Amino acid sequence: MLTLASGLALSSVAAGSVATECSSKGFWSWLTGSNSEPAADPSAWTPGVKRRPVKKNFISGGRKAQRGLILHVQEGQGSLFEWFSNPSAKVSAHFWVSQTGEIEQYVSAHDQAWAQRDGNAEWASVETSGFAAQPLTPAQVEAVARIYQWGAREHGWALKLADHPQDTGLGTHAMGGSGWGLHECPGPSRSAQREAIMARVLADRHSGES
Ligand SMILES: [Zn+2]
């Protein structure tokens, strides 16, 4: 779940509208999206990840820190590209991970996505498809670990979990409290799965895989 720049919860704005719901439309545009763009700065755009830059709903530059990655739950399914491209959305995330482990990147790591208000300048963000009541799929755990490995390599993200906004590591939207919009996101189940994600990051690191 994402927090509007104004502080309103996306879900409250979107209730009864198309906002959070995904969308077969988003899915089809993902299927037919172009993947033939030239290589980008690998510290900005994760190599091997589907790059779909949004034109709206982020702040160019202005990152004050690279504290790590914040885990979110979509409360919906399907690519968020169309929604994050909508000028009325006022929300975005750096990454989105499907339930089968596909990754899309919408915002450069050097820019501020609009995912957790006061945390936007210091944290990267990943939306995970599905609902808080469902755990992340094994493929999602793997995909988030892959993003994290990249951040650790390119930006020095700490190889540990984060528990508050001044911490470093793999954190949750909920840890930001009122300054981050007072969300439960991504819920207890997915929050607890950060252990499995970090274990995966560390296992690959120890095996020498990048
Ligand atoms: Zn969230």
Q: What's the pTM?
A: 0.82
Q: Which residue has the tokens 């198309």?
A: 18
Task: Please state the rounded mean pLDDT for residues 57-78.
Answer: 96
Q: How many A from CA of 192 to the centre of ligand 1?
A: 15
Pairing of strands 124-128, 68-73: parallel
How many A from CA of 74 to the centre of ligand 1?
7
Domains held by the chain: number: 1
Give per-residue pLDDT as tens, 53-67: 999 999 999 899 999
Give 154 Cα–ligand 1 centroid separation in angstroms: 24
CA dihedral 9, 11, 15, 19 (to 10 degrees): 100
pLDDT score of 164: 97
Q: What's the 6 CA to ligand 1 centre distance in angstroms? A: 15
Q: Is residue 15 part of a domain?
A: no
CATH number at residue 57: 3.40.80.10
Task: Say how many Å lie between the CA of residue 104 and the centre of ligand 1.
Answer: 17
Q: Do the domain assignments include residue 5? A: no
* CA 3–ligand 1 middle distance (angstroms): 7
Domain boundaries, position 158: 21-31+46-206
